[in-house]
C-alpha cells in the first residue's frame, strides 16, 4: 500500500492516527443528532430551532475546511491538524456546559471550525503516504473512521443509563484532547514541505484554470448534493424515527447500523475504485441511496427499517468517499490540501442546507415520507455529476492521478 519499504512504518502510523482522528470527528459530528431529542426537551426547542443547532456546527465546518487546508499547505499538515483536534475537543466540552440556547449555538459553531479544518488534512495525509494503486483504499480506510465514530456516538446514546444528553459531548471532548498529545508524539511529519502554499491568485488558477475548471465544478456540485442528503440523515434520522413511533432503543440501533453500513460502503467504494470500477461504485452508491431513502419513509416492519438504515449509511457515506478519494487526484501537491478543503467546504454548504431544509419542512407539516422523497432529485444530480467527473475529464485525471509527491 505504501510508497517505499523504508516508509512502511511511518505510513502505517500516519494512516492509523488519521483513522483515529476520523473516528473522533465522526463521533462529534453525530453527537447533536444523538442528543437532539433530550436536548430539545431541555432547551424547549421546536423543529426549526433544533435545525439551527444542527447547522451551527456545520456552518463552522465551511471556513474551517477552506482555511484549514490552506494553513496546512503553508505551515505543515501536522501542526494544523493538532490545533484543529484541540479546538473541537475543547468546544465539545463547552457544548455540554451550555446554559442557554445562544451558548449552545456558539459552542457548536466553534466546534465545527476545528472539525472542518481536520478532515481535508486527514484526506491529504492518507493519500500522500499510499502507493498509487492503493491510494483510494488508504483514503477509504481513513474516512471509514467517520461512520465508526458515529456508531460510537449512537451506542453511547443507546446505553446511557441516566439518559443525560451531555455524556456524549464529554466523551467527544476529552478523547480529542488525549489524542492531540498522541499526535504531537507520534504523527510523522508530512512529506509535503511547508511553505508550498501558493498565493491566492495562483491557487485559484490551479483550482479553476482551464485545465481543472470543469473537474473542480463537477466535484463541487456532487459534494454539495451528497452532503445535503448525508447530513440530513446524520442529524435528523433519530428524530424522524422517533416520530414514526420507534422506541429510543430501536432508533439508536438503526443509527448504529447506519454507521456500520457507512464503514462497509466506504471500504467497498475504495476497493472498487482501486480495481478500476469507479463508475460501478457511483451507480451502486446513488441508486442504492434512492432506494434506501424511499424505504426509510415507507417501510413499516422494524427489520426492514434496520436494513434500510444500514443501506442508507453504506450508500450515502460510500458516495461521499468516492468524491473524497477523487479530490486529491485532481490537484498537485502544493494545493492538494487547499483543493480538498475547498471541495469539502462547498460540500459543507450542502451539509448546512440539509438539516435546515429538513427542519423547515417538518415545521411546515411535511411528513417523514414526504421529506425523504423530497430530496430524491438531489440524488440524481449527485450521481450525474460524479459519473461525469469520472468519464469526461480524461485529459486531467490520468495526468494528476499519479500524484507525484
H-helix segments, 76-144:
77-96, 101-129, 135-143
In the predicted model, is pLDDT for residue 95 greater than 80?
yes
Residue 290 forms part of a structural domain: yes
With beta carbons less than 8 A apart as the criterion, state whether 138 and 15 touch.
yes
Distance, in Å, from the CA atom of 250 to the CA atom of 244, rounded to the nearest integer, reads 11
135-147 pLDDT, tens digit per residue, is: 888 899 998 898 8
Distance, in Å, from the CA atom of 68 to the CA atom of 263, rounded to the nearest integer, reads 25
Residue 319: the pLDDT is 93
As to burial, measured by CB atoms within 10 angstroms (0-12 exposed, 13-18 middle, 19+ buried), residue 404 is exposed
Q: 404 pLDDT band (50/70/90 cuts)? A: very low
In the predicted model, is pLDDT for residue 219 greater than 90?
yes
In the predicted model, is pLDDT for residue 403 greater than 80?
no
Comparing 358 with 215, the larger pLDDT belongs to 215
In the predicted model, is pLDDT for residue 399 greater than 50?
no
- Which helix or strand (DSSP H or E) is residue 303 part of? helix 302-330
Quick one: CA torsion of 149, 153, 154, 159, rounded to 10 degrees? 130
Q: Grid coordinates standing for 335?
A: 494545493
Choose the weakest-confidence range: 13-27, 158-172, 190-204: 190-204
CATH number at residue 343: 1.20.1250.20
Domain count, the chain: 1
Nearest to 117 by CA among 349, 351, 344: 344
Distance, in Å, from the CA atom of 20 to the CA atom of 145, rounded to the nearest integer, reads 7
Residue 86: the pLDDT is 97
Residue 325 forms part of a structural domain: yes
Q: 349 pLDDT band (50/70/90 cuts)? A: confident
Q: 71 lies in which domain range?
A: 5-400
Comparing 404 with 190, the larger pLDDT belongs to 190
The residues facing 2 across adjacent strands are 130
Distance, in Å, from the CA atom of 20 to the CA atom of 23, rounded to the nearest integer, reads 5
Residue 189: the pLDDT is 78
Residue 377 forms part of a structural domain: yes
> Average pLDDT of the chain?
84
355-397 pLDDT, tens digit per residue, is: 777 777 777 776 666 677 677 888 999 999 999 998 865 555 5
Residue 170: the pLDDT is 93
14-52 pLDDT, tens digit per residue, is: 999 999 999 999 999 888 888 888 888 889 988 888 888
Residue 405 forms part of a structural domain: no
Mean pLDDT computed over 181-196: 77
Distance, in Å, from the CA atom of 333 to the CA atom of 385, rounded to the nearest integer, reads 24
In the predicted model, is pLDDT for residue 401 greater than 50?
no
Mean pLDDT computed over 328-349: 86
With beta carbons less than 8 A apart as the criterion, state whether 252 and 238 touch.
yes
Residue 387 forms part of a structural domain: yes
Choose the weakest-confidence range: 3-17, 69-83, 348-362: 3-17
Choose the weakest-confidence range: 46-60, 207-221, 284-298: 46-60
Q: What is the CA radius of gyration of the chain?
A: 20
Cα–Cα distance list, 62 to 48, 65, 120, 149 (Å): 21, 5, 11, 20
220-238 pLDDT, tens digit per residue, is: 999 999 998 887 877 777 7
291-312 pLDDT, tens digit per residue, is: 988 888 788 899 999 999 999 9
Comparing 236 with 1, the larger pLDDT belongs to 236
Residue 273 forms part of a structural domain: yes
Report how far apart the first and last C-alpha atoms of the chain are (Å, whole number).
Answer: 15
pTM, 2 dp: 0.80
Distance, in Å, from the CA atom of 229 to the CA atom of 350, rounded to the nearest integer, reads 8
Q: Grid coordinates standing for 116?
A: 472542518
Amino acid at each position: 500500500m505504501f510508497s517505499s519499504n523504508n516508509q512502511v512504518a511511518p505510513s502505517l502510523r500516519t494512516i492509523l492516527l488519521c483513522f483515529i482522528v476520523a473516528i473522533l470527528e465522526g463521533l462529534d459530528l453525530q453527537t447533536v443528532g444523538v442528543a437532539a431529542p433530550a436536548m430539545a426537551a431541555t432547551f424547549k426547542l421546536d423543529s426549526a430551532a433544533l435545525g439551527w443547532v444542527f447547522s451551527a456546527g456545520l456552518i463552522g465546518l465551511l471556513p474551517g475546511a477552506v482555511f484549514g487546508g490552506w494553513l496546512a499547505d503553508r505551515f505543515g499538515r501536522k501542526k494544523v491538524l493538532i490545533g484543529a483536534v484541540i479546538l473541537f475537543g475543547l468546544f465539545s466540552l463547552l457544548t455540554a456546559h451550555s446554559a442557554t440556547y445562544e451558548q449552545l449555538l456558539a459552542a457548536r459553531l466553534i466546534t465545527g471550525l476545528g472539525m472542518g479544518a481536520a478532515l481535508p488534512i486527514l484526506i491529504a495525509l492518507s493519500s500522500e503516504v499510499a502507493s498509487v494503486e492503493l491510494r483510494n483504499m488508504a483514503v477509504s480506510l481513513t474516512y471509514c473512521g467517520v461512520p465508526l465514530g458515529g456508531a460510537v456516538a449512537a451506542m453511547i446514546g443507546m446505553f446511557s443509563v441516566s439518559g443525560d444528553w451531555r455524556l456524549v459531548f464529554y466523551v467527544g471532548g476529552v478523547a480529542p484532547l488525549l489524542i492531540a498529545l498522541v499526535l504531537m508524539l507520534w504523527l510523522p511529519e508530512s512529506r509535503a514541505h511547508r511553505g508550498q502554499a501558493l498565493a491566492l491568485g495562483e491557487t485559484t488558477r490551479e483550482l479553476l484554470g482551464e485545465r481543472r475548471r470543469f473537474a473542480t465544478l463537477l466535484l463541487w456540485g456532487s459534494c454539495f448534493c451528497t452532503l445535503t442528503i448525508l447530513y440530513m440523515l446524520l442529524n435528523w434520522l433519530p428524530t424522524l424515527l422517533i416520530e414514526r413511533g420507534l422506541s429510543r432503543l430501536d432508533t439508536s440501533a438503526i443509527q448504529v447500523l447506519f454507521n456500520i453500513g457507512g464503514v462497509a460502503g466506504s471500504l467497498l467504494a475504495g476497493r472498487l475504485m482501486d480495481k478500476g470500477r469507479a463508475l460501478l461504485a457511483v451507480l451502486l452508491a446513488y441508486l442504492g441511496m434512492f432506494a434506501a431513502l424511499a424505504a426509510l419513509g415507507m417501510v413499516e416492519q422494524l427489520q426492514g427499517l434496520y436494513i434500510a438504515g444500514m443501506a442508507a449509511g453504506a450508500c450515502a457515506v460510500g458516495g461521499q468517499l468516492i468524491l473524497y478519494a477523487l479530490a486529491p487526484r485532481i490537484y498537485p501537491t502544493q494545493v492538494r490540501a487547499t483543493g480538498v478543503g475547498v471541495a469539502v467546504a462547498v460540500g459543507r454548504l450542502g451539509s448546512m442546507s440539509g438539516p435546515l431544509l429538513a427542519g423547515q419542512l417538518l415545521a411546515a407539516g411535511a411528513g417523514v415520507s414526504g421529506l425523504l422523497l423530497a430530496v430524491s432529485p438531489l440524488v440524481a444530480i449527485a450521481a450525474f455529476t460524479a459519473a461525469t467527473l469520472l468519464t469526461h475529464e480524461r485529459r486531467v485525471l490520468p495526468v494528476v492521478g499519479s500524484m507525484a509527491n
